[in-house]
Amino acid sequence: MQIKRFEGRNVHEALKQVREAMGPDALILSTKKVKKPSFPFEFSRRSWVEVVAAIDRRTDPGAESGQPCFPPSKRENLREKKGEEEAIIQRILSTGLCPEFVYNLFEQISTLREEVPSQTLSEAYRNSLRRKLMEKIDVTGPSSVDPKIWSFIGPTGVGKTTTLVKLAAHFRLNFTKKITLITLDTYRIGAVEQLRSYAQILGVPLEIAMDSEELRQIIERNRDQDIVLIDTAGRSPNQPSHLDELKGLLTVHPRIENHLVLSATTKEKDLIRIVERFSLLPIASYIFSKVDETEEYAPMLNQLMRDRRPLSYLTCGQRVPEDVELATKGKVADLVLNQIQWN
CA dist., res. 204 & res. 172, Å (int): 9
CA dist., res. 52 & res. 308, Å (int): 26
CA dist., res. 104 & res. 9, Å (int): 26
The predicted structure's pLDDT at residue 5:
84
Q: What is the pLDDT along the chain (343 residues), one digit of tens a residue?
A: 677 888 888 877 888 888 888 887 777 777 777 766 554 444 445 678 888 877 765 544 444 444 444 445 544 554 555 677 778 888 888 899 988 888 778 777 666 555 555 557 778 888 889 999 999 999 997 666 677 999 999 999 999 999 999 999 999 998 889 999 999 987 776 788 989 999 999 999 999 999 999 999 999 999 999 999 999 988 888 888 889 999 999 999 999 999 999 999 999 999 999 999 999 999 999 999 999 999 999 999 999 999 999 999 999 988 888 899 999 999 999 999 999 988 7
Q: How far apart are the first and last CA of the chain?
A: 22
Please state the φ and ψ torsions of residue 120, each to the nearest 5 degrees: -110, 10
CA dist., res. 279 & res. 258, Å (int): 10
- Strands lying side by side in the sheet with 324-326: 206-208, 179-183, 227-231, 148-153, 256-263, 285-289, 311-315, 324-326
